[in-house]
Structure 1
């Protein structure tokens, strides 16, 4: 199905930003939502899609994703981008930000070029909205599965050169307490790139200064950051507590049921609320692949070997998780089943909230007239029946 002409989706329960419309109808024209309502209106010449009483939801937006289906966004091939995007579309993701790890700079440059080519050819997967650079200006103590040989202080000459290479870099992560960290955040902000904090040993004073200078997002809360620490017998609030204390700080949550137990998912949900939480997969190439196999975090050439067991990726010595193997449908399902969030809030954390965080909510994140027709249809267990990207059906379970 192309995204030209008219499409009518009917006989489903539509989740809008503030309500659910029972037995609702959505009319799409040229990939844009034209009508949303309860009446099953006649649309002459439209392709009709019967939702069969299922939920019609905004498409999910993944801010932090490294790959899937056996492919990584650092593999250096257009095919890897396209196949990973198709895998995640099968699970409800309609937009994503391909994510790069701390690594070789020349490898990064190569993959920025590959991204631009893949973006033009991507017709059957989740849409690419830009690139997220995760590292390398991190805390060595909180590196997690990041390769330590690449960890370093922010280098103005280096990051200015990198940013000059591509206008598609939309977000960059760092540890704000490192030397030059605040200057780096200011520069990102001046260039319209979202600064976020992650893999950090920052305490509250560091985080507050970073927030004041434009760092408004905490990467995978709890993972790769300190909780309360002690220095010379005195306690200090770490990055986790800082994200809770600063009301306006947005947070990523890997709700795969492995990185965080139900108790912490509940705590984050109750403390930050659905308007400050973005559900992210942080998935590596092993997403959508069987458990019990070895995989690679990062590129095939320079990546780190990991094992996949218990529904999560781990370093071979099992000292740290190494990214997730989750898909967005699992995140939404877990926030309902493990955290006790209403379905509408779980969907919100996977759609309009990430859209707001990245400044794309004028076209993405909710089912209202004038926005892109990014839509998922799923059952009561958040199992995806159809995924639609800008009016095009890219996944249909029945086919």
Structure 2
């Protein structure tokens, strides 16, 4: 039975911050959270938090890669590399996310996930695959490969969902022919359904919401806003996300994909309980800037990483994020002007609820998984613990 006591830190709890708090962990689970000093037996490993913040582990429900690897590489090694990269920045759980592709390539990725999920002992935990595409609007494709973009095909999507239980979420455009039937089927299988890369107007999004499209993938990015058709104005997917109170949104809070004024607007209207921060990171996350590849290393799109973001080679559009979870929290505090507690909630409790993991993750409470992050006032991560095991450690040696 492994026991750890993280003490002398500022514990971020659902009720507020404990200024001199502790978190007591036994066999990978939290068994106690409190303020002050707790007496424990001599066999307990003590970790002095040195006054740092003690936070729930960050949950990234939309990530493509990191550390030079991408899930579209389709190898076990790529999966493990991404997980091990992001754990260094406080991510304790993540959803491997795909891009538009051949069905056979998708099956290879799902096969790799199954093996990697068993071998993953040094990185962020996998919490199910997020299929991003291929059922998208061509006008809102972004950096997705247009060769693979198509309308929902019942024979195809039923075959895919039957192939693997690892699929947790599917993002698609709700206005496409057959999209509502697709959505109904996806929801019948207990999967999360999200709208993405969509040119829908408000009425189409609302109908989609009523058929299960309850989450907006990378809000504002590859998504319609107010538009005009034959002299008439129509509210778009962005406005629908605001008007539908029960719709959750995820935002790439790197300060570039969604600039500060829009980050502030999202928070003002939706609130921390309806916003999940996501990196949407590609392989260059955690790597030096320069040339890179979006998607599969052999067949993907060549891109340029500069100014903290991936761009198309001609710099005409963004081609992906290189953010890590700590950067998202830092950006929300500095640019969106939110409190530390709300920024952390959007990286922990809210995504946990969206993906149905609130009973196990997302907050520091007894009986939940011991997924814990220690960081300083600048959100520089000093320790990451996944299931009670320390996987990233940068504290002074004498404190452990």
* TM-score scaled by length of structure 1: 0.98
2:311 matched to 1:314? yes
Runs of 4+ that moved beyond 2 A: none
1:62-77 matches, cutoff 5 A: 62-77=60-75
Aligned to 1:136: 134
Aligned to 1:157: 155
Aligned to 2:207: 209
RMSD: 0.8
Give 1:43 deviation, angstroms.
1.7
Aligned to 2:23: 26
1:183-198 matches, cutoff 5 A: 183-198=181-196
Match of 2:337 among 340, 353, 364: 340
CA distance in 1, matches of 2:316, 2:238: 20
Aligned to 1:326: 323
Aligned to 1:49: 47
Match of 1:39 among 24, 36, 39: 36
CA distance in 2, matches of 1:390, 1:140: 41
* TM-score scaled by length of structure 2: 0.98
CA distance in 1, matches of 2:181, 2:243: 23
CA distance in 1, matches of 2:297, 2:104: 15
Match of 2:350 among 349, 353, 359: 353
Give 1:317 deviation, angstroms.
1.8
Match of 2:92 among 91, 94, 98: 94
Give 1:109 deviation, angstroms.
0.5
Give 1:319 deviation, angstroms.
2.1
Match of 1:377 among 374, 379, 388: 374
Spell out, residue by residue over 1:168-198, the C-alpha distance to the aligned partner (whole angstroms, 9 max, x if none).
1000000000000001110010000100000
Structure 2 counterpart SS, 1:362: coil
CA distance in 2, matches of 1:243, 1:349: 17
Match of 1:180 among 178, 197, 200: 178
CA distance in 1, matches of 2:306, 2:213: 34
Match of 1:235 among 220, 233, 236: 233
CA distance in 2, matches of 1:215, 1:80: 30
Aligned to 2:285: 287
Match of 2:103 among 102, 105, 118: 105
Match of 1:16 among 13, 19, 25: 13
Aligned to 1:126: 124
CA distance in 2, matches of 1:129, 1:71: 18
Closer/same/farther in 2, CA of residues 301 and 104 from structure 1, 3 Å limit? farther
Structure 1 counterpart SS, 2:83: helix
Aligned pair count reads 395
2:258 matched to 1:260? yes
CA distance in 1, matches of 2:164, 2:359: 23
